[in-house]
């Protein structure tokens, strides 16, 4: 059945679903409140190699990494590595603009959707009510429509980052650095070399994130030395979501997708892969259902595997926060791991897109954990 569909938000998820649904023959209109695509930017742009190969191509890659170096609060470090690159940073604005170029004719830029009636599938724009067969909410993490409709609990933390021009010293350009610190309880600081003397440094913290980032740049014992004097090129950020993902991503004739449905990895808040996987599920639901009233149910069913995976990951993150809940226990854990060859063994199985692969791998190599633990007790 041919449908008239409104999409709220021209982020990567809104634009991707718009392209897919128009290819299926539906009439699609995307409403974007900003006049430019991808701006204001909030995302660090870190995605896996397989994501880049499937969705991005080489055009928008800013850097490729084959190591992730993790630091404990006392700066004991461990490194996950692979022989070839497995993570990259992409230019999010370039990526979003390319998606826009494929469907600009259905997009209305600079137009905010103020309200949605989920029973009638209508939206209010500039005081005018417009009616559709379905409305898809891809509003991202702003959650204004989500807040006025389902209003679920959302675990989120403000994230801020800066692109800096500096003379990096003692930094491998093929290494992402992640610092667990007292300044960022339950989250972390990231440092991504982008090449050409530019580095992206950011953190997630529920208290004074900007002040903390400035403090980190000048006082953190490792970061301040690596960066030295710097010039700020830009400052950007937004809400980092950590779950819980919506299990029922619809209400009447309003569907939720991407950050608006909290479809993110709970460990890092990354939402590009999970959002685009949900685009595949929703497209399939449109393919399989001709009744507008059944699409939400079908979409929820097709997306259930992803939802359960994200829920399991959230339980793991909570467990990790319980086990390693003080800087001291985190230092101890890092010290045990760094003395074993566990990380080398895990590194070989590491799947950046599936955070469950880490505990699974640890369980499979439990003998290494036990022997390191005994060695740590003896020493």
Ligand X SMILES: Cc1cc2nc3c(=O)[nH]c(=O)nc-3n(C[C@H](O)[C@H](O)[C@H](O)COP(=O)(O)OP(=O)(O)OC[C@H]3O[C@@H](n4cnc5c(N)ncnc54)[C@H](O)[C@@H]3O)c2cc1C
Residues forming the site for ligand X (CB under 6 A): 8-14, 31-34, 42-47, 112-113, 138-142, 144, 159, 161, 202, 237-240, 258-259, 264, 269-272, 275
Of the pair 35, 229, the CB lying nearest ligand X is at: 35
Please report how close the Cβ of residue 35 comes to ligand X at its closest, in angstroms.
10
Please report how close the Cβ of residue 262 comes to ligand X at its closest, in angstroms.
10
Edge-to-edge order in the sheet of strand 27-32: 107-109, 27-32, 4-8, 134-137, 254-256, 250-251
Of the pair 144, 253, the CB lying nearest ligand X is at: 144
Please report how close the Cβ of residue 255 comes to ligand X at its closest, in angstroms.
13
| Polymer length in residues for the chain | 379
* Pair type for strands 134-137 and 254-256: parallel
Please report how close the Cβ of residue 194 comes to ligand X at its closest, in angstroms.
13
Of the pair 271, 296, the CB lying nearest ligand X is at: 271
Buried b (16+ CB within 10 A) or exposed e, 183-208: bbbbbbbbbbbbeeebbbbbbbbeee
Of the pair 142, 354, the CB lying nearest ligand X is at: 142
Asked if 56 and 12 touch (Cβ cutoff 8 Å), the reply is no
Of the pair 263, 340, the CB lying nearest ligand X is at: 263
Q: How far apart are CA 59 and CA 80, in angstroms?
A: 26
Of the pair 258, 347, the CB lying nearest ligand X is at: 258
SS3 content of the chain, % helix, strand, coil (to 5): 40, 25, 35
Please report how close the Cβ of residue 3 comes to ligand X at its closest, in angstroms.
20
Asked if 193 and 87 touch (Cβ cutoff 8 Å), the reply is no
Please report how close the Cβ of residue 112 comes to ligand X at its closest, in angstroms.
4
- Rg, the chain, Cα only: 22
Per DSSP, helices labelled H in the chain are 12-23, 49-51, 92-101, 144-148, 209-219, 223-227, 272-288, 295-302, 304-323, 327-339, 342-349, 357-364, 366-378
Of the pair 74, 248, the CB lying nearest ligand X is at: 248
Please report how close the Cβ of residue 317 comes to ligand X at its closest, in angstroms.
16
Q: How far apart are CA 120 and CA 212, in angstroms?
A: 46
Of the pair 309, 365, the CB lying nearest ligand X is at: 309
Residue 278, both tokens: 């949900």
174 HSE (CA, 13 A, CB side) = 10
- Residue 134: CB atoms within 10 Å: 22
Of the pair 124, 331, the CB lying nearest ligand X is at: 124
Q: How far apart are CA 99 and CA 14, in angstroms?
A: 10
Please report how close the Cβ of residue 295 comes to ligand X at its closest, in angstroms.
19
Please report how close the Cβ of residue 68 comes to ligand X at its closest, in angstroms.
13
């Amino acid at each position: 059945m041919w449908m008239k569909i409104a999409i709220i938000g021209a982020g990567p998820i809104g634009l991707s679903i718009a392209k897919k649904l128009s290819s299926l023959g539906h009439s699609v209109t995307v409403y974007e409140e900003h006049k430019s695509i991808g701006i204001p930017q909030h995302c660090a742009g870190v995605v896996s190699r397989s994501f880049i190969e499937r969705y991005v191509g080489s055009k928008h890659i800013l850097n490729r990494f084959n190591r992730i170096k993790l630091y404990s609060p006392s700066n004991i470090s461990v490194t996950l590595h692979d022989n070839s690159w497995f993570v990259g940073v992409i230019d999010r604005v370039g990526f979003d603009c390319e998606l826009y170029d494929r469907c600009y004719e259905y997009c209305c830029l600079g137009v905010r959707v103020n309200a949605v009636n989920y029973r009638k599938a209508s939206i209010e724009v500039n005081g005018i009510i417009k009616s559709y067969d379905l409305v898809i909410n891809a509003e991202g993490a702003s959650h204004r429509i989500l807040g006025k409709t389902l209003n679920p609990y959302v675990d989120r933390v403000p994230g801020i980052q800066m692109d800096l021009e500096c003379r990096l010293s003692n930094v491998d350009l093929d290494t992402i650095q992640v610092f667990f610190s007292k300044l960022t309880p339950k989250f972390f600081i990231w440092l991504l070399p982008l090449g050409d003397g530019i580095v992206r440094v950011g953190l997630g913290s529920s208290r004074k994130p900007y002040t903390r980032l400035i403090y980190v740049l000048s006082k953190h014992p490792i970061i301040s030395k690596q960066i030295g004097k710097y010039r700020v090129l830009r400052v950007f950020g937004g809400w980092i979501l950590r779950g819980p993902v919506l299990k029922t991503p619809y209400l009447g004739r309003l569907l939720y997708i991407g950050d608006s449905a909290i479809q993110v990895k709970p460990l890092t808040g990354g939402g590009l892969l999970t959002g685009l996987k949900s685009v595949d599920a929703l497209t399939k639901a449109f393919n399989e259902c001709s009744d507008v009233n059944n699409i939400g149910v079908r979409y929820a069913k097709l997306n259930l595997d992803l939802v359960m995976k994200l829920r399991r990951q959230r339980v793991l993150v909570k467990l990790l926060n319980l086990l390693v809940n003080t800087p001291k226990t985190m230092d101890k854990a890092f010290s045990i791991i760094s003395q074993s060859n566990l990380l080398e063994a895990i590194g070989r199985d590491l799947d950046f897109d599936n955070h469950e692969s880490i505990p699974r791998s640890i369980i499979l190599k439990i003998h290494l954990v036990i022997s390191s633990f005994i060695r740590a007790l003896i020493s």
